[in-house]
Structure 1
Amino acid sequence: MAARSFLFVLGSSRPDGNTETLTRIAAEQLPTDTGQRWLSLRELPLPEFEDVRHPERRHTPPSGNAGTLLRATLDATDVVIASPLYWYSVSSSTKRYLDHWSHWLRTPGADFRRRMAGKTLWGVTALADSDLAVAEPLAGTLRISAEYLGMRWGGVLLGTGSKPGDVLSDTAATARAKTFFS
């Protein structure tokens, strides 16, 4: 059996935030032979998504940051979306990444739908609200996206905290992080 390879897509607008901290705690528990690639959407900004599904437009293979993210997404066995909860859903950079999946579905040679099927999609988020139910729209976005592509849904790891480092005080979340990927 081939070793698993995790792609961690960091969707925060700031480095070292609570979502990233919680994600790193979970990733530390992975077996040492598990590949890990960490990509920050802040460092690899994507262009505005343009819907070109109409017949007069051609889907061209992405280049630049979009090409990097497409290749990394296809190369992974597991994709982890690490996005803080913003207005009850994923961050704008994360949403843009998911919007680009629509383009990649139609990109000649990418075979995106077939190659994503069977992979596992995971979510990690930190939120300032103590009511974890407010993260249901975020979890639903990711779960339904996984289902649409025939991916397995690994679940979402939730933690609370507002200021950087606050999530470390959420002992229930840090305990869940230690078994999240098992």
Structure 2
Amino acid sequence: MTRRFLFVLGSARAEGNTELLARAAAEQLPAEVEQRWIRLAEHPLPDFVDLRHDSDHVRPAADTPAGLLLDATLAATDIVIASPLYWYSVSSLTKRYLDYWSAWLRTPGVDFRGTMAGRTLWGVAALAHDEPAVAAPYAGTLTHSAAYLRMRFGGVLLGNGSAPGDVLGDTDALARAKTFFAQDAPLARFPHETPGA
């Protein structure tokens, strides 16, 4: 299967540090790998409504933000969550996108779980902190989401930056970006799972 990367940009700021780091990593992808970039701030999703105990969700129209994101997500072999670290986790725009995964799991005719199984989830984040351990909740959100859907998880590429462009001075992060998408992504597992479970 030809790889198709979907970059989901979850920052409230265009061309912020997270996006710059994601683009540095994406530059290393082979030319034949398709890349699609969607800025969540430009396609605002309505408030998520949990219908799981009341009724099925209806597949959103393709010309709506939810329809656009659903179709792009289903078409991707690799989904890159490019969200800055906000209060130790993903941004509110990104969290809303992930909330919609719950709806898509319960949308007749979509088979979201079956389609996502075996695909790969990646994370890219800029943080204004010298200690990468503060991003553990961020990484946990993504790895557990991947495990729930039996996806592969490629990990999180972290870079340091607060003011615009700061991450371009993080030489360690830029070096990691050169090989980030080249690594093998293992099947994501919950902490209590054992291999082969």
* TM-score, length-scaled by structure 1: 0.98
Q: Determine if contact 2:18/2:124 at 8 Å carries over to the other structure.
A: yes
The residue type equivalent to 2:78 in the other structure is: D
Partner of 1:49: 48
Which amino acid in structure 2 is aligned with residue 5 of structure 1? R
Deviation, 1:58, is 3.2
Q: Which residue pairs with 1:34 in the alignment?
A: 33
C-alpha distance after superposition, 1:46-94 (max 9, x if no partner): 1111000113x33111230000000000000000000000000000000
Unaligned runs of 5+ in 2: 183-197
Secondary structure of 1:118's aligned partner: coil
Structure 2 CA distance for aligned equivalents of residues 46 and 164 of structure 1: 26
- Report Cα offsets for 1:80-125 as digits up to 9, x if no partner: 0000000000000000000000000000111000000000000000
Contact 2:121 2:154 in 1 (8 A): yes
Q: Note the 1:81-96 alignment, pairs <5 A.
A: 81-96=81-96
Whole-angstrom CA distance in 2 between matches of 1:8 and 1:29: 14
1:8 aligns with 2:17: no
Q: Which runs of 5+ in 1 are unaligned?
A: none
TM-score, with structure 2 as normaliser: 0.90
Mapping 1:103-122, distance limit 5 Å: 103-122=103-122
Aligned to 2:185: none
Whichever residue aligns with residue 57 of structure 2, its letter is H
2:168 corresponding residue in structure 1:
168
User: In 2, distance between residues paired with 1:164 and 1:103?
Assistant: 35
| Residues 157 and 180 in structure 2, CA contact (< 8 A), matched pair in contact too | yes
Structural RMSD (CA): 0.6
Partners of 1:58 and 1:4 in 2: how far apart?
Answer: 31
Aligned-pair CA distance for 1:40: 0.5
SS in 1 for 2:43: coil
Asked if 1:58 is matched to 2:56, the reply is: yes
- Tell me if the contact between 2:56 and 2:106 (Cα under 8 Å) persists in the aligned partners: no
Q: Which moved more, 1:45-54 or 1:57-66?
A: 57-66
1: CA distance, partners of 2:21 / 2:146: 22
Give the Å deviation of 1:3.
Answer: 1.5
Task: Map 1:98-177 onto structure 2 (within 5 A).
Answer: 98-177=98-177
